[in-house]
Amino acid sequence: MTFRAKASWVVAVAAALWMVACGDGEGGVRGSGGGSMFSAPKEPEPTIRFGVVWDDLVVDSGEVKPGRSLSHLLDPAGIGPGRVATLAANSRKTWDVRYMKAGHRWWLASETVRDSADAEARLVPKWFVYERNPKDYALFSLGDTLGVRLGSYPVDTVYARAQGTIVNSLYMDFEKAGHPTNLAVAMASVYAWTIDFSRVQKDDTYDVLYRREVVNGTPVGMPVVLSSVFTHWDRPLEAYRFETEGVGGYFDLEGGSLQKVFLKAPVEFSRISSRYNPKRFHPVLNKVKGHYGTDYAAPTGTPIVAVGDGVVTKSSYTSGNGKYVKIRHNSTYETQYLHMSRRAVKEGQRVKQNEVIGYVGQTGLATGPHVCFRFWKNGKQVDHLREEFPPSDPIAADLQQAFADEVARLEAMKEKVPANGKAVSPDALR
């Protein structure tokens, strides 16, 4: 074949390919179904929100205002009292609309409908969404079938590490370092049996690995402490989270439980305003009168919790004690909580450790809001801060290796998370 013939053959093939690609000239580039060598543009993915297709809907939104109910929110959209009552009745077994609260977000999504080609467009309500909390919502169907289903947003998990020295308080120092302030509450729960956080001092140190959940880019809920070393009075106190039978607990390096029979204090993040002192000068009576308890100053209304399991033997009032509660924990120990603004338990009631039994006040002989916490041992009042209480059960022998593996895993994870830096995803830890 000559050069000229070869060139003619190449041109002919190219022309044929071009004709196949262009089709018959009427439809442009055809999709794969028409035998074209090119694919048609992909249809855009529909927008899904709250588990339904959100495209082409007209959406109104806002927050529930005080005194407003579901009927107030749906009435402007043309949904009358009868349909609202039916919707509420149909939904009650799944979620009761009477639980709606002020300040929570809502969305009303409507379809644009034309009864005929020449008719004016009108809006027909299709969905109503109420955000129950930062993670969960209720989706109400407003069509022919009135009802509700519950849903949750996608949740991401991130890991962060807080490290530093106490300068002001755990709460303020966490906030200054960019950590959530409720991490201080989580820490207080971890060390509730070993550290009285009203006695935390400057120069105490902390190194905490924690995880938290993120929804729609916003952290939600309480952080979960995974491992921690809190140095208090030059004594390092380790805590490692370990789950047994689906329940998470905290243990030291040897597998001993941090949980003790009694909490260190009946209120969180208070300060000790007066200690156990048999020769204290009473500020109200203006005379020396033994003070056989520990005063924890806190704002009025602060929850007071039982430091241990027991039975309420007194829930009463006297001119000196004010409103008070007394609990028998066993044949050896009793505790008493004085000067409450309000009591939350009754005589004979069984209570669990960390259960709210009342609220801080200044009833009785008190110069300011506080709880006077008293502790009996074998019928005699003692200084609870000087008592040593036995811990709960340690990790069982057959779980010791699993616990050691978990400690090693958490320590390795901690090394990959920058101290006081940006939170990292699980992928960054692999």
Query: Parallel, antiparallel, or unpaired for β 136-142 and 146-152?
Result: antiparallel
CA of residue 189 relative to chain centroid, distance: 14
DSSP secondary structure code for residue 321 in this structure: T
Can you tell me whether residue 182 is helix, strand or coil? helix
For the cut 80, the answer to whether the pLDDT of residue 267 exceeds it is yes
Lowest mean pLDDT among 152-166, 261-275, 334-348, 393-407: 261-275
Cβ-based neighbour number of residue 154 at 10 Å: 8
Query: Is residue 171 located within the same domain as residue 248?
Result: yes
Query: Is residue 276 located within the same domain as residue 239?
Result: no
Strand partners, 156: 214
Cβ-based neighbour number of residue 251 at 10 Å: 23
Query: Is residue 275 located within the same domain as residue 377?
Result: yes
Residue 22 domain-assigned (yes or no): no
For the cut 90, the answer to whether the pLDDT of residue 10 exceeds it is no
Query: Is residue 238 located within the same domain as residue 251?
Result: yes
Cβ-based neighbour number of residue 353 at 10 Å: 18
Share of the chain above pLDDT 70, in %: 85
Q: Per the structure block, which two tokens stand in for 220?
A: 């939600």
Q: Per the structure block, which two tokens stand in for 154?
A: 């996608």
Instruction: Give the pLDDT score at 18.
Output: 42
Q: Which of 108, 136, 152 is the last residue of a domain?
A: 152
Question: What contacts 63, CB < 8 A, 6 or more positions away?
Answer: 102, 103, 104, 105, 106
Share of the chain above pLDDT 90, in %: 59
Query: Is residue 238 located within the same domain as residue 276?
Result: no
Can you tell me whether residue 309 is helix, strand or coil? coil
Residue 213 host element (H or E): strand 205-215
Query: Is residue 278 located within the same domain as residue 306?
Result: yes
pLDDT tens sequence across 87-109:
999 999 999 999 999 999 999 99
Q: What are the strands, taking DSSP E only, across 118-169? A: 122-131, 136-142, 146-152, 156-165
Residue 413 domain-assigned (yes or no): no
We report the CATH number of the domain holding residue 294 as 2.70.70.10
Residue 60: half-sphere exposure toward Cβ, Cα within 13 Å: 13
Residue 117 domain-assigned (yes or no): yes
DSSP secondary structure code for residue 46 in this structure: P
Instruction: Give the pLDDT score at 287.
Output: 58
For the cut 60, the answer to whether the pLDDT of residue 279 exceeds it is no
Residue 102 host element (H or E): none
Instruction: Give the pLDDT score at 23.
Output: 43
Distance CA 278, CA 276 (A): 7
Residue 230 domain-assigned (yes or no): yes
Query: Is residue 380 located within the same domain as residue 282?
Result: yes
pLDDT tens sequence across 50-60:
989 888 899 99
Residue 75 domain-assigned (yes or no): yes
Query: Is residue 290 located within the same domain as residue 208?
Result: no
Residue 72 host element (H or E): helix 70-74
Distance spanning both ends of the chain, measured CA to CA: 63
Query: Is residue 243 located within the same domain as residue 293?
Result: no
In which band, very low, low, confident or very high, does the pLDDT at 361 lie, cut at 50, 70 and 90? very high
How many structural domains comprise the chain?
A: 3
Residue 394 vs residue 301, higher pLDDT: 301
Residue 10 domain-assigned (yes or no): no
Q: Which of 109, 125, 152 is the last residue of a domain?
A: 152
- Name the nearest CA neighbour of 198 among 129, 148, 254, 270: 270
In which band, very low, low, confident or very high, does the pLDDT at 276 lie, cut at 50, 70 and 90? low
Question: What contacts 289, CB < 8 A, 6 or more positions away?
Answer: 280, 281, 282
Query: Is residue 217 located within the same domain as residue 276?
Result: no
On whether the pTM is more than 0.75, the answer is: no
Query: Parallel, antiparallel, or unpaired for β 310-318 and 303-305?
Result: unpaired
Q: Per the structure block, which two tokens stand in for 294?
A: 């520990």
Domain membership of residue 93 as a residue range? 48-152
Q: Which of 152, 184, 210 is the last residue of a domain?
A: 152
Query: Is residue 179 located within the same domain as residue 206?
Result: yes
Instruction: Give the pLDDT score at 365.
Output: 86
Residue 411 domain-assigned (yes or no): no
We report the CATH number of the domain holding residue 194 as 3.10.450.350
In which band, very low, low, confident or very high, does the pLDDT at 26 lie, cut at 50, 70 and 90? very low
Q: CA torsion sign, 75 to 78 to 81 to 84?
A: negative
Residue 121 domain-assigned (yes or no): yes
Query: Is residue 66 located within the same domain as residue 128?
Result: yes
